[in-house]
A and B are shown apart, each in its own frame.
Chain A
Amino acid sequence: MVELAPSPVVQSAEIPLKPESKRENFVRAYRWMLLARTLDEKLAALYKAGGKISGGVFLGTGQEALSTALGVALRKGDVFAPLIRDLAGRLAFGEPVLDATRTYLGSRLGPMRGRDGNIHRGRIAEGQMAMISHLGAMISTTAGVLLARRMRGQTGTVGAISIGDGATSTGSTHEGLNTAAVEHLPLVAVIANNQYAYSTPTSRQFACEDLLDRAKGYGYEGHSVDGTDLEACLEVLQRAVDRAREGHGPQMVVARLLRLTGHGLHDDASYVDPKLKASPVGADCLRLAEKTLLERRWAEAKDLASWKAECVKEVDEAAAQAMRDPAPDPKLEDWSALNEPEMLDLGLATRG
């Protein structure tokens, strides 16, 4: 008789921290945003220097407020399936900066060991799902973790998935959202409507008036938020996560914002409508958060400068460390896609 072992995913017995205060909460979130922006800038610089980063670099510029708000609303023991522009949320949820630099720079010591790169990283055992490129795929996977936890009688954790307006069009997203609702799972689906999927505007992505209308259709509680407003994001995401945690079933958050970067660094985003850029939706959430900090006297300019300096230092060290790391060595690879050695196809392995 095989009995259930404890969940391999790191669990936490911690009682949720009451947010210290509105200010502390805001400052903490702002500093995650700042770290993410700084790290993105560093990755961009390394990429443009050439020869260091293979593949692409995909930034989260303009989406830090929403992403961070999700990351800080989650707790250790929850499950988070981030998407492309969730560097801030990943960091806030606990991903080390070094994981990002190592994965981008192809270190053998990173979580993906050079087998996968850039944004396709995670630490599954710590609840950080490692996204695949196929949009919507991680929704049902996250739901599966939650279903398993319920089957083993474990409650109190939530799962969060992050997608954009583009992913809302895939069959996988539909199946995943629907299945999670059918199973009444504590899933928080965060949709960053950043106006473009690569170059495709939302008018070519969906025809409904508001994506939030889909919440009702799927049987989710729906939440709408201005993705440029950190304070609003913190409030709404915390509410959504709490509702899910308290057993009110799946939650859907639709945030309105603008991607302030190309799809990747290789894309100059020249197709973005200048009117959108100039409109409130095109505002930079980081600048707005700084404005709020200063206006409310929650921080002074010198604080901002010193926090930035700390971020730069941490990021520079993580980049330097990753650059010093050994690269993956084909000779040291076991070249096995299976975990059970006796099931390996030796005939193929010997021929390479």
Chain B
Amino acid sequence: MATTYLEAIRAAQAKALQDDERVFIYGQDVGAFGGAFKATKGLAAAHPGRVMDSPISEDASIGLAIGASIEGLRPIVEMQFADFSSVAFSQIVNQAATQFYRTGVPCPMVVRLPSGGTPGGGPFHSQCMEAIYAHYPGLVVMTPATVEDAYHLLLAAVELEDPVIYCEHKFLYNHLKAERLPEKSDLPPNKARVARRGRDATVVTYSAMLHEALTAAGDLSREGWEIEVVDLRVVKPIDTETILESVSRTGRMLAVGESAPWGGVTAEVVARVAADGFRFLDAPPRRLACKDTPVPYHPNLWAAHRPNAAEIARVLREVLRF
């Protein structure tokens, strides 16, 4: 029986609730209803009093989680959509992210952000927020791209003694399936994964774009190019070592993300490759992001707004021909 990305997130939370008395879940409609995407389906019944509906108060929900973590609990806060975490932005970046540095008291908590576009989602139900949070010291930002990582990274996030922004991609929720969930992750949470081996160029990506990149790599292999694909898994901290190791073999790099083009994770990857991997480069490191507009509503516009396999392949051909 195959497990979806969404089921993996639910299973990870069920396991965390089961294994760790400190864990509780707080968020809008997460209780008996099971969450807007059913990521907490059945958990409230299985763990009475530990899966609670919150008022529509993202700021207070995070503040509450910070307080509970001070008390030794391990809150998981579900933002109904990543977009709404901007209401809680101040609590996340000003309090959760600074607390350990300021006071020496750690702030272990997980904020789940259902992220990224789906056709028809529109400007306020499609955002990717990983770059914003990664910019702030004191936060760990996870961006799982696979069913296995969705499961194991969420469990790792609960274990971490620091606040974790866990960006789960809505497009992958039901599209992505795995045969089974492995007992253990093959990688620690701070390591990127080489998702496909290649020799001609490296694509560094994360979250849903991994699958577009893998498709592009498959297409290019029919043209005789072997593209290596690195899945960051966690964008902060970023595994510079794995990126540079790959670029040292391929000499060419394209960073792909679904977020807005100004700054962000792809810019960080390019900056690090340029600064620390200059001597490896045969071509300028490139990046590909979504268009610099809000995420559009109509499926036609939405599909053109974000990078896709064809676009990645097109830019890769430029990189390869440079």
Contact = CB atoms under 8 A, between A and B. Distances in A.
Given A143-B63, A172-B63, A137 B105 contact: no
Contact of B238 (A125, A146, A172, A347): A347
B32 to A, nearest CB: 16
A88 B45 CA distance: 46
B19 interface: yes
14 contacts: A5-B72, A112-B103, A113-B104, A132-B95, A133-B94, A141-B67, A143-B63, A143-B67, A144-B65, A144-B67, A176-B63, A179-B60, A336-B101, A338-B162
B49 interface: yes
A201 to B, nearest CB: 25
Interface residues of B, number: 58
Given A144-B71, A338-B162, A139 B63 contact: yes
Interface string A105-135: 0000001110110001011110000101110
Contact of B162 (A3, A137, A340, A346): A340
B118 interface: no
Interface residues of A, number: 57
A147 B61 CA distance: 11
B274 interface: no
A134 B190 contact: no
B161 interface: yes
A171 B160 CA distance: 30
B3 interface: no
A24 interface: no
B59 A345 contact: no
A348 B71 CA distance: 31
A61 interface: no
Contact of A343 (B72, B91, B237): B237
Contact of B189 (A122, A176, A343): A343
B138 A143 contact: no
A347 B63 contact: no
Contact of B64 (A147, A336, A337, A339): A147
Contact of A140 (B59, B94, B108, B276): B59
Given A3-B21, A4-B72, A143-B67, A346 B237 contact: yes
A142 interface: yes
Interface in B116-174: 137-138, 140, 160-162
Contact of B22 (A2, A143, A336, A339): A2
A344 interface: yes
Which of B99, B103, B106 has the largest count of A CB atoms less than 10 A from its CB?
Answer: B103
B72 A340 contact: no
Contact of B72 (A8, A141, A171, A338): A8
A149 B105 CA distance: 17
Contacts of A343: 140, 160, 162, 189-190, 237
List the 8 closest A-B pairs by CB distance, nearest first. Answer: A144-B67, A140-B63, A148-B71, A175-B60, A345-B237, A337-B138, A175-B57, A144-B64
Contact of B90 (A8, A144, A172, A183): A172
A139 B60 CA distance: 8
Nearest to B275: A351
B68 interface: yes
A178 interface: yes
A332 interface: no
